[in-house]
């Protein structure tokens, strides 16, 4: 009997003088091993894709509520933000997003500061006043700097902050405020409606591109939904 090993780890079993052959895996137990118990190997199931519990991101929304936002435009904005924060508050995100909201007209204020998406207080805005881009930019810079300087007892890994800057109006803006914000955050600019100052908003954006969104019913809600999905997808890709 001739044994010819093959590259795939099997051995050819044959009888001299015959042309028939069959394959049998190596390591087959002998008859004396037949009564030994069969070992079962338990394999761990792969971890489900999702957001790691120690990964966090500061998301800052600067939103215009000047007089030109009166009526459907402001209602569309508020509904769009509600939908966006519902996405971020989904339990699968493990409170990964901490949010700051800065409404602005001719001035600005901090509605909430670095809070989980599930804990954002209701945002009630009444359109009024003019438009000032510098005021919310300064507050966004201060909020991001304060969060970065805060203690981190949980040892969380913070991703680069994201700022969403949305306006339907026009305003001057200081170069230094833009530069200071670009150094610490990724800024996305949205020109809402036909009267928005796209050129200035493009300067505010980190990539120099402005997202023009029409004031048609549902357009802004659809855009903000995409923003939410993108934030979640980007965070999941860090796992």
Q: What integer pLDDT is reported at residue 45 of this predicted model?
A: 40
The structure's pTM equals 0.79
d(CA 84, CA 63): 13
d(CA 164, CA 220): 13
Q: What integer pLDDT is reported at residue 217 of this predicted model?
A: 86
Question: Would you list the domain boundaries of the chain?
Answer: 53-64+106-174+184-215
Q: What is the pLDDT along the chain (239 residues), one digit of tens a residue?
A: 222 333 343 333 333 344 444 444 444 455 555 555 444 444 444 444 556 679 999 999 999 999 999 999 999 999 999 999 999 999 999 999 999 999 999 999 999 999 999 999 999 999 999 999 999 999 999 999 999 999 999 999 999 999 999 999 999 999 999 999 999 999 999 999 999 999 999 999 999 999 999 998 899 999 999 999 999 999 988 76
Q: What integer pLDDT is reported at residue 61 of this predicted model?
A: 98
Look at the chain and count its residues: 239
Q: What integer pLDDT is reported at residue 52 of this predicted model?
A: 67
Contact (Cβ atoms closer than 8 angstroms) between residue 194 and residue 53: no
d(CA 239, CA 222): 27
Burial (Cβ within 10 Å: 0-12, 13-18, ≥19) of residue 33: exposed
Contact (Cβ atoms closer than 8 angstroms) between residue 87 and residue 125: no
CA 200, 201, 205, 208 dihedral sign is negative
Enter the tokens of residue 12: 């050819």
């Amino acid at each position: 009997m001739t044994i010819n090993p093959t590259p795939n780890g099997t051995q050819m079993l044959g009888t001299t003088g015959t042309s028939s052959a069959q394959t049998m895996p190596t390591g087959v137990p002998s008859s004396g091993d037949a009564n030994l118990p069969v070992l079962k190997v338990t394999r761990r199931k792969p971890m489900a894709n999702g957001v790691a519990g120690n990964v966090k991101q500061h998301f800052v929304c600067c939103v215009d509520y000047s007089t030109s936002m009166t009526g459907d435009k402001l209602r569309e904005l508020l509904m769009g933000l509600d939908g966006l924060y519902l996405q971020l508050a989904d339990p699968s995100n493990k409170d990964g997003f901490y949010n700051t909201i800065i409404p602005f007209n001719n001035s600005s204020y901090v509605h909430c500061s670095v809070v989980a998406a599930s804990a954002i207080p209701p945002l009630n805005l009444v359109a009024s006043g003019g438009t000032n881009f510098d005021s919310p930019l300064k507050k966004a810079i201060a909020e991001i700097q304060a969060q970065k300087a805060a203690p981190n007892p949980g040892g969380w890994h913070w991703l680069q902050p994201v700022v969403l800057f949305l306006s339907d109006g026009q305003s001057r803006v200081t170069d230094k405020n833009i530069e200071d914000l670009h150094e610490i955050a990724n800024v996305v600019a949205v020109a809402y409606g036909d009267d928005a100052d796209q050129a200035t908003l493009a300067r505010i954006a980190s990539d120099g591109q402005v997202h023009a969104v029409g004031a048609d019913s549902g357009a802004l809600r659809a855009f903000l939904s995409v923003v939410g999905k993108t934030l979640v997808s980007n965070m999941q890709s860090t796992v």
